[in-house]
């Protein structure tokens, strides 16, 4: 199993710098007072395509040889990875094929197309997705970039924490949401070398707590079809992300749906940033476990800002 190294992360950062933003770190005196902690928010929602996944996507796309690049890239995703990979491919001027369930929201399809991604629709089942993806890849020869279980992607996501440490001058802990584990793995990769004293903490929805249960059990547990407002965190761990989670994560906390929505609203109100529900899970966990974070310098990764403004979760909850 090829696991990316710290040097891979450093090379990734040099490679992707022209195509990503060194996103701002925001703070709020009010939120610090509320939690008794020093909170630092790394605004990956401010990436041009709105999510940290542009880091891993750019690292994969710009690491291809000229010959490989001609055939383009391909993936299956209905979320931020699809739009970020399309964006990265557009920046390099190469094709990007995306297999998406036909039931995916129109807004997600529109974003992929805005960045020049070519969508092939499948039925909303694993069988259909895999069969359709195999056909697309056979036809195009595009390089498969998995949303998270890819060493190039993990190395790319790790560049976020490198910037975060440079921008803050050091943190006691970094909290990031966990779905498939790409961001958490990149964070572990970087901090294990750059700041081994800094704890890496994962935050997960109670209703999709497969990483939490895996962490406690000591082996990967995958849920069948979890549902949560934090729809970026539905996918299970895979072997490469499990490697980092099992070896380097200090703790996984979980939060309920209501706690996630409340934290989201609190951050919108006081940091005045638009972020998606998945990105609110770290703050929900900080609010729920105040003693664990009190008086600490806590970095929270705001992973993405792509949200349907016409269907905000507090409109119905």
- Would you give the DSSP letter of residue 236? P
Are 59 and 155 in contact by the 8 Å Cβ rule? The answer is yes
Q: At its nearest, how many Å lie between a second copy and the CB of residue 314? A: 7
Q: What separation in angstroms does the CA of 197 have from each of 133, 159, 171, 194, 280?
A: 42, 18, 9, 9, 25
Region 55-84 residues binding a second copy, contact defined as CB under 8 A = none
Q: At its nearest, how many Å lie between a second copy and the CB of residue 181? A: 24
Q: How many residues bind a second copy, per CB under 8 A? A: 24
Tokens 């269907």 sit on residue = 311
- Would you give the DSSP letter of residue 51? B
**Contact track, a second copy, 277-306, x by CB under 8 A:** ----------------------------x-
Work out whether 156 is an interface residue with a second copy (CB under 8 A).
Answer: no
Q: Which of 4, 50, 117, 181 binds a second copy (CB under 8 A)?
A: 50
| Residue closer to a second copy (CB basis): 30 or 219 | 30
Q: At its nearest, how many Å lie between a second copy and the CB of residue 243? A: 32
Are 279 and 45 in contact by the 8 Å Cβ rule? The answer is yes
What count of residues does the chain have? Answer: 317
Task: State both tokens at 303.
Answer: 């992973």
Region 261-280 residues binding a second copy, contact defined as CB under 8 A = 265, 268-269, 271-275
Q: Which of 48, 123, 166, 239 binds a second copy (CB under 8 A)?
A: 48
Give CA–CA dist 156/183, Å, rounded: 9
- Would you give the DSSP letter of residue 171? -
| Residue closer to a second copy (CB basis): 101 or 105 | 105
Q: At its nearest, how many Å lie between a second copy and the CB of residue 14? A: 22
Are 263 and 39 in contact by the 8 Å Cβ rule? The answer is no
Q: At its nearest, how many Å lie between a second copy and the CB of residue 291? A: 24
Q: How far apart are the first and last CA of the chain?
A: 43
Give CA–CA dist 252/98, Å, rounded: 31
Q: At its nearest, how many Å lie between a second copy and the CB of residue 171? A: 20
Work out whether 22 is an interface residue with a second copy (CB under 8 A).
Answer: no
| Residue closer to a second copy (CB basis): 28 or 246 | 28
| Residue closer to a second copy (CB basis): 24 or 239 | 24
Give exposure, 226-244, as e/b (b: 16+ Cβ within 10 Å): bebbbbbbbbbbbebbbbb
Q: Which helix (H) or strand (E) holds 262?
A: helix 257-271
Work out whether 113 is an interface residue with a second copy (CB under 8 A).
Answer: no
Best CA proximity match to 248, nearest among 161, 150, 145, 156: 161
Work out whether 14 is an interface residue with a second copy (CB under 8 A).
Answer: no
Work out whether 28 is an interface residue with a second copy (CB under 8 A).
Answer: yes
Q: At its nearest, how many Å lie between a second copy and the CB of residue 113? A: 13
| Residue closer to a second copy (CB basis): 239 or 308 | 308
Residues in touch with a second copy (CB under 8 A): 24, 26, 28-30, 45-46, 48, 50, 114, 265, 268-269, 271-275, 305, 309-310, 312, 314-315
């Amino acid at each position: 199993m090829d696991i990316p190294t710290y040097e891979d992360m450093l090379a990734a950062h040099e490679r992707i710098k022209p195509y990503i933003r060194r996103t701002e770190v925001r703070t709020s005196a009010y939120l610090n007072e509320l939690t008794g902690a020093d909170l630092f928010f790394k605004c990956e929602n401010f990436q041009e395509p709105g999510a940290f996944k542009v880091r891993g996507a750019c690292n994969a796309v710009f690491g291809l040889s000229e010959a490989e690049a001609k055939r383009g890239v391909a993936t299956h995703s209905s979320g931020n990875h699809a739009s970020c990979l399309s964006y990265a491919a557009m920046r390099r001027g190469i094709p990007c094929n995306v297999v998406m369930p036909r039931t995916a929201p129109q807004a997600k399809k529109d974003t992929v197309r805005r960045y020049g991604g070519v969508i092939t629709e499948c039925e909303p089942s694993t069988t259909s997705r895999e069969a359709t993806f195999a056909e697309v890849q056979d036809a195009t020869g595009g390089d498969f970039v998995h949303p998270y279980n890819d060493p190039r992607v993990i190395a790319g996501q790790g560049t976020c924490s490198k910037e975060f440490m440079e921008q803050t001058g050091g943190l006691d802990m970094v909290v990031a949401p966990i779905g498939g584990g790409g961001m958490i793995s990149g964070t572990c990769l970087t901090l294990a070398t750059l700041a081994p004293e800094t704890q890496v903490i994962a935050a997960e929805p109670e209703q999709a707590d497969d990483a939490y249960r895996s962490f406690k059990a000591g082996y990967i547990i995958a849920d069948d079809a979890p549902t949560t407002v934090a729809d970026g965190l539905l996918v299970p761990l895979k072997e490469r992300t499990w490697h980092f989670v099992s070896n380097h994560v200090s703790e996984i906390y979980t939060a309920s749906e209501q706690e996630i929505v409340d934290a989201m609203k609190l951050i919108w109100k006081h940091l005045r940033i638009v972020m998606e529900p998945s990105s609110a899970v770290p703050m929900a966990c900080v609010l729920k476990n105040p003693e664990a974070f009190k008086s600490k310098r806590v970095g929270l990764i705001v992973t993405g800002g792509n949200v349907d403004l016409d269907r905000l979760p507090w409109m119905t909850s």
